[in-house]
Amino acid sequence: MLKDKIKAAFNEPACPTNRAKAAKERAKGCAKPLTPGAAAGGCAFDGAKISLQPITDAAHLVHGPLACEGNSWDNRGSGSSGPDIWRRSFTTDLTELDIVTGQGEKKLYKAIREISQRFKPAAVFVYSTCVTALIGDDIDAVCKHASSKYGLPVIPVHSPGFAGSKNLGNKLAGNALLDHVIGTHEPDDVGPTDVVILGEFNLSGEFWMVKPLLDRLGIRVRTCVPGDARYLDVAAAHTANVTMVVCSTALIGLARRMEERWGIPYFEGSFYGITDTSESLRRLAAMLVERGAPADLIERTEALIAAEEARAWARLEPFRDRLAGKRVLLNTGGVKSWSIVAALMELGMEFVGTSVKKSTVEDKMRVQILMREEAHAFEGMAPRDLYAQLKSGGADIMLSGGRTQFIALKARVPWLDINQERIHPYAGYDGTVELVRQIAISLGNPVWDEVRTPAPWDNEGRLTDRHVSHFTMDDDSDAADPTFAARHRRKFANSRVDNTDPEYLAHHRKKFAGRDADDIGDD
Amino acid sequence: MTDAPSKLTTVAKAAAVNPLKSSQPLGAALAFLGVDNAMPLFHGTQGCTSFALVLIGRHYKEVIPIQTTAMDEVSTILGGADHLEEALLNLKKRTNPSLIGVCTTALVETRGEDFAGDLKLIAERRGDVLAGTEIVLAHTPDFAGSIEEGWAKAVTAIIEGVVPQGAPARVAPERINILPGSHLTVADLEAIRDTVEAFGLEPTILPDISGSLDGKVAERWVPTANGGTAVEDIRTMGGAVHTIAIGEHMRGPAEVLKARTGVPYTLFDTLTGLVATDRFVALLAEISGRPVPARVRRARAQLEDALLDGHFHFGGKRVAIAAEPDLLYAMARFFAGLGAEVACAVSSTGSSPILEAVPAAEVVVGDLDDFETRAEGCDLLVTHSHGRQASERLNIPLMRVGFPIFDRLGAQHRHTALYEGTRDLVFEVANIVQAHHVPPTPAELDPFRDHGDTHVGRPQTAAH
Ligand code: SF4
C-alpha cells in the first residue's frame, strides 16, 4: 500500500519534469538510485515534516526510534504568530523491546492519547519512519481509531525515509493533506477574494512581508501552507478561489488535485525579487476577477505595484555602486534561482554559476535566458570542486544553504544564507531590498581582508618577506650586524638614562621618599 | 557533598516530548571523527546520515564528513551487504581514508543482519582494493543508547580492530594513553595534552577531536577527518605504561585495551573540580617521577581563588541538570561541590552505574519535558541548546553544556575540565546568576504577603 502511495506521488502530471518525459519513462517514476558511499541529502520523512510542521497549532508525532526526530528537531525557523505546540518535539522513541515485542502500534496509540490530553492540539500528525514501516505498523488504523476515540483529527503521514528523497517527502505530505485534511471544514465566511498559498514556509517570518500587500488589496489568504498555518484554515482550503504555488517542487501536486477536486485554478509564482512579486500580485488579481471578484481589483493592484516598485528601486539605488560588477555564485534549490538572479542582475551583479539541481525544466530555461551563455548552470557540485572554484577566486560571494556554508567560509569567500536557516527575511519588495543590503554588508565586511592576509611565516614557522620588521635600522654600522642582540642594542641606545646625572637622581629620590620597600601599597 | 545512592526513576510515557538524547550512531560518528583521515559510514538510509551530519555541523560549525550506505526500500528488504560493499569501495576510491568506521542504524539492526560476517567477506574478496584502510564496526542501533554509548562502542571497535593482541615488544616509559569521554571539549583535550606533556610524558589521545573538530581554516580541501589520532599511534597503544580513562562510559574501552595488551588503567569519573584534578595531576607526577610544574601549580591557585570568589553565587541555589550520564554526574558534582542543590537531575539513558553516584535525591531517566516539569522554581537550567524552549517558558536562565549547542558559538573551545575548566565554569555560572538577579519589590518583602489572598511573591528559594 505504501508502494502505491509513493508511486502515485511520483506520477505527477503537473510536474514539468514529468511532462517532458515519454510515457514509458514516466511510469518508472523519478527516484534515482543513490550511490552508497557518495550520497547526501535528507530523506522522505525529513521532507514530509518540513512541509507540515509549520502548521502551528498541531502536534507532530514521529513514530520510530529516536534518531529520526531526536537528531532533527528545532532546526528550522518558520515564524508563528500564535501557538507554539508545533515547536515541541514528539516521538514514540521506540526501544528494542518495543520493536521485538511488536508494541509499536500500542505505544503510538498511547502517545496520541497523552499528547491530546495534555497539550490539546488542534490535530495530531503522525509520521511513519523507516523502522515502523519495515515492521509493518498500521498507522492508518491507529490514527483512525485514536481520532474517533479522542475526538480530534489524527492524520497519518506515510513518510519512511527509505522511500526516497526529501522532495518525495514534500509530495507525501501533500497527499496526507489531501486525503485527510483539506475539505473537512466548512467555514461560514467564504468570500470572493479568498486565496490559498501553497509551499510558502514563512521562514524568518518572511510571509509577513507579503501578507500586508494582499491585505491592502483586500485579498484574503484563507491559509498559507504550511507557514504559520492553523489546522482549521488548512481544512477549509477547498473554499478558496485561487491557489498560488510558491515552491512548486513541494506541493504542485496538491494544487493540481485541488483543481481537479474543487475546481480551484492555480498558478506558480514567487515572492522573491521585485519583478516576480509584482507578477504574482497581478496573476492573483486577474484570476480572482475572473472568478467573480470586483473588477477594480486589477486597477488597484497596478497602482500598488507601481508605488511599491518605485519605492523599492529607490531604496536599492544606493547599493548599485557597491555591487555592480561583483560576481555571485548561486548554489541553491531552495529559493527560486531565477527570481534572485533577475533582481541582482538589474543591479549590475554578475553570475558565475548557478545550481539548478532542484529546478524544473522551466526554471532552467529562465535561468539560461537570464544569464545568457556567459554563466553556466550546473547540476550540483562535489564539495571538493566547489571549494576549488571558490578558493581560486571564482566568485566574490556565494549564496546558498547551510549545507555548503562552511565550504565557502573555509575558502575565505563571503557567504549568505538564502535557504531554510536564514535569519533575514527576503520576500516581497522589502525582502528584496533586505537581501541586497545583506549582500552588501557581507561583501563589505573588513574581515575578508584580514583572513586573506597570509601569516608572516612559512609552514615551518620561519619569518617570510611578508613579515614587517619592528626594528628600525637607522644606525648604519649596526645595521650591518643582523643579529637580534645588535638590533636590540641599537634600539635602546638612545633611551639609556645616565644614572650619574644629579637631576635624575634627585627626581628619583623624591618619587620614592618616605616609602619603605616592605610596606609599599599599604599607605 | 552527598554521595548517598540516589533513586533512579524512569518515567512511564508513550511519547518522548522534546528528546534529550541524540542518537547512538551520532555518538559513534563523533568518536570516529577523532581519528586522523577517518570516515564514519552509517549503514542505513541517507536521511539518518544527513540528520546526524547536519546536527554535528550545527554544533561545530564545520563541514562534517559522514557517509551513508544509502539503503533504499529494495535493499532494506533484500539485505544490505551489497550496499555496504559498494559504499566501502566508493569511499576508498574517492577519499582513501585511513579508517572507515561503520556505524549501524536502527533500520539495518531491525532487519538483524550479520554485519561482522559481511565485512569479513568483503575484506576477503576486496582486500587488494581496500588495503591500507582499517575498517571497524560499531553496533549502534538508534533504538538503544545515546551519544555516550555510541562513542564508547566506536572507541572499543577501534581498539579491537587496530591494536594488536598481546603484550608489545617494547614499552616506552614516557607514553601514556588517554581515553576521553564524549563530554570533553576540544579545549579540554588540549588542556589535558598540555598538562600531560608538561610532565615530559607523551600522550596518545583516542579519540582526539581536538585535532579534527577544532575549527581551523586549512589551506586545502580534505574530504575526511582532518587531524586526530594517527592510526599508527593507535596501533602501538599497547606500548604505553598506563591508560587514563575519563568518564564511566570509557571503562569498557579501557578494559578492552587492558585485556588485549596488559596496559593498566586508571578511571577518572570526572576531571571537573579541584579534588578530581588533584588526583589526575598526582597520577601524572607519579608516572613521570617529576615534580608538578609551576604552571600547573599556578592554575590550581587560580582555581582556589575562583572557588572562593564564586561560591557566593552557588550557595543555596537550586539547579536543574539534564544530560548524558557522565556529563550529568560531572555537572552535578561541580554544583553540589559549591553548595548548590541539584534539585532536578535528568539523564538521557538509565544504564550507566555512575547515575547511582549523582548527588541528587532522584535521577530521572527521561526527556526535556520531564526536565521542564520538574525544573520549575529552580534558579538555573543546565542542559544543551534544546533546553532553550524550557528556559523561555519557565523564565529561568539556561547554561548550555554538552551536545548539541547550536545557538551559541565556541562550544568546542570552552574549558570544562581540569583546573582551568573548573575555574571557567565557576565564572560562567556566577555571571549568569548575576545577570539574572532581580531586585526585590516592596510587595515581595511585605511580611503580610502570605496572609490572605494577596500573595504576589516570586517562588521563594532557600536562603544562602
Ligand atoms: S532515513 Fe528513515 S530512519 Fe533515517 S531519519 Fe529518515 S525516516 Fe528516520
Question: Does A74 reside within a domain?
Answer: yes
* B125 shares its domain with B188: no
* A202 shares its domain with A130: no
Nearest one of B434, B416, B400 to B333, comparing CA atoms: B416
Percent of chain A residues past pLDDT 70, beyond the cut: 76
Residue B461 pLDDT: 41
- Ligand 1 pocket member B107 (CB < 6 A): yes
**Can you give the residue range of the structural domain that contains A415?**
318-450
Q: What is the CATH number of the domain that holds B117?
A: 3.40.50.1980
* B206 shares its domain with B324: no
* A380 shares its domain with A312: no
Burial class (CB in 10 A: 0-12, 13-18, 19+), A391: middle
* Final residue in a domain of this structure, among B293, B327, B346: B293
* B135 shares its domain with B33: yes
Question: Does B52 reside within a domain?
Answer: yes
* A172 shares its domain with A267: no
**Can you give the residue range of the structural domain that contains B380?**
7-16+306-436
pLDDT tens string A474-522: 555 544 555 655 665 555 555 544 555 666 556 655 654 554 434 333 3
* A175 shares its domain with A45: yes
Question: Does B130 reside within a domain?
Answer: yes
* A61 shares its domain with A84: yes
* B288 shares its domain with B208: yes
Q: What is the DSSP secondary structure assignment for residue A225, as one 8-state letter?
A: E
- Residue B130's CB is within 10 A of a number of other CB atoms, namely 18
Residue B61 pLDDT: 92
- Ligand 1 pocket member B45 (CB < 6 A): yes
pLDDT tens string A266-321: 999 989 889 889 999 999 999 999 999 999 999 999 999 999 999 999 999 999 99
Is the Cβ–Cβ distance between B28 and B103 less than 8 Å?
A: yes
Q: Which of A35, A61, A71, A91 to mutate to test the interface with B (most CBs of B within 10 A)?
A: A71
Residue B438 pLDDT: 79
Question: Does A511 reside within a domain?
Answer: no
| A 142-171 → B contacts, CB under 8 A | 160-164
- Ligand 1 pocket member B48 (CB < 6 A): yes
CA distance B339 to B310: 11
* B325 shares its domain with B381: yes
Give the mean model confidence (pLDDT) for residues B64-76. 89
- Ligand 1 pocket member A130 (CB < 6 A): yes
CA separation, residue B115 to residues A341, B40, B68, B129 (Å): 49, 15, 15, 20
Question: Does B442 reside within a domain?
Answer: no
* A263 shares its domain with A358: no
- Domain tally for chain B? 3
How far off is chain A from B228, nearest CA to CA, in Å? Answer: 19
Closest alpha carbon within chain A to B88: A37
Is the Cβ–Cβ distance between A48 and A159 less than 8 Å?
A: yes
Instruction: Inspect the interface and report whether the beta carbons of B110 and A134 lie closer than 8 Å.
Output: yes
- Ligand 1 pocket member B51 (CB < 6 A): yes
* A63 shares its domain with A177: yes
Nearest one of A397, A410, A448 to B64, comparing CA atoms: A410
* B136 shares its domain with B203: no
Question: Does A117 reside within a domain?
Answer: yes
* B222 shares its domain with B264: yes
Q: Which of B55, B107, B400 to mutate to test the interface with A (most CBs of A within 10 A)?
A: B107
Question: Does A102 reside within a domain?
Answer: yes
* A7 shares its domain with A148: yes
Q: Measured between CB atoms, does A374 come within 8 Å of chain B?
A: no
Ligand 1 center–CA B45 separation, angstroms: 6
* B28 shares its domain with B11: no
In what helix (H) or strand (E) does residue B74 lie, and over which residues does it extend?
helix B73-78
Instruction: Inspect the interface and report whether the beta carbons of B21 and A66 lie closer than 8 Å.
Output: yes
Instruction: Inspect the interface and report whether the beta carbons of A74 and B51 lie closer than 8 Å.
Output: no
Is the Cβ–Cβ distance between A112 and A154 less than 8 Å?
A: yes
Residues of A in contact with B69 (CB under 8 A): 36-37
* B356 shares its domain with B324: yes
CA distance A100 to A391: 51
pLDDT tens string A372-392: 555 565 666 778 888 888 888
CA separation, residue B325 to residues A360, B21, B273, B382, B418 (Å): 49, 11, 17, 13, 19
Is the Cβ–Cβ distance between B413 and B157 less than 8 Å?
A: no
Instruction: Inspect the interface and report whether the beta carbons of B389 and A88 lie closer than 8 Å.
Output: yes
pLDDT tens string A122-160: 999 999 999 999 999 999 999 999 999 999 999 999 999
Residue A496 pLDDT: 47
Q: What is the CATH number of the domain that holds A233?
A: 3.40.50.12380
Question: Does B441 reside within a domain?
Answer: no
Question: Does A421 reside within a domain?
Answer: yes
Q: Measured between CB atoms, does B11 come within 8 Å of chain A?
A: no
* B189 shares its domain with B248: yes
Pocket test for ligand 1, best of A126, A127, A129 (most atoms within 8 A of CB): A129
Q: Measured between CB atoms, does A87 come within 8 Å of chain B?
A: yes
* Final residue in a domain of this structure, among A316, A347, A365: A316
- Domain tally for chain A? 3
Model-level pTM?
0.86
* A136 shares its domain with A158: yes
Q: What is the DSSP secondary structure assignment for residue B246, as one 8-state letter?
A: E
CA distance B72 to B277: 49
Residues of A in contact with B63 (CB under 8 A): 383, 406-407, 410
* A170 shares its domain with A50: yes
Question: Does A28 reside within a domain?
Answer: no
* A91 shares its domain with A127: yes
CA distance B219 to A300: 57
Buried b (16+ CB within 10 A) or exposed e, A313-346: eebbeebeeebeebebbbbbbbbbbbbbbbbbee
Residue given cell 551513508 in the structure block = B68
Instruction: Inspect the interface and report whether the beta carbons of A383 and B221 lie closer than 8 Å.
Output: yes
Is the Cβ–Cβ distance between A311 and A242 less than 8 Å?
A: no
pLDDT tens string B114-131: 899 999 999 999 989 999
Q: Is the pLDDT of residue A216 over 80?
A: yes
Chain-centre distance for alpha carbon A407: 17
* Final residue in a domain of this structure, among A181, A212, A241: A181
* Final residue in a domain of this structure, among A450, A475, A502: A450
Give the mean model confidence (pLDDT) for residues B85-98. 94
Q: Measured between CB atoms, does B351 come within 8 Å of chain A?
A: no
Complete DSSP assignment for B69-122: ----HHHHHH-SHHHHHHHHHHHHHHH--SEEEEEE-HHHHHHT--HHHHHHHH
Cis check: omega of the bond before B141, within 30 degrees of 0? no
Is the Cβ–Cβ distance between A358 and A426 less than 8 Å?
A: no
The three-state DSSP-derived secondary structure of A335-347 is CCHHHHHHHHHHC
* A170 shares its domain with A210: no
Question: Does A169 reside within a domain?
Answer: yes
Instruction: Inspect the interface and report whether the beta carbons of A65 and B67 lie closer than 8 Å.
Output: no
Q: What is the CATH number of the domain that holds A110?
A: 3.40.50.1980
* B130 shares its domain with B209: no
Complete DSSP assignment for B358-380: SSSSEEEE--HHHHHHH-TT-SE
CA distance B159 to B257: 7
Question: Does B90 reside within a domain?
Answer: yes
Is the Cβ–Cβ distance between A344 and A440 less than 8 Å?
A: no
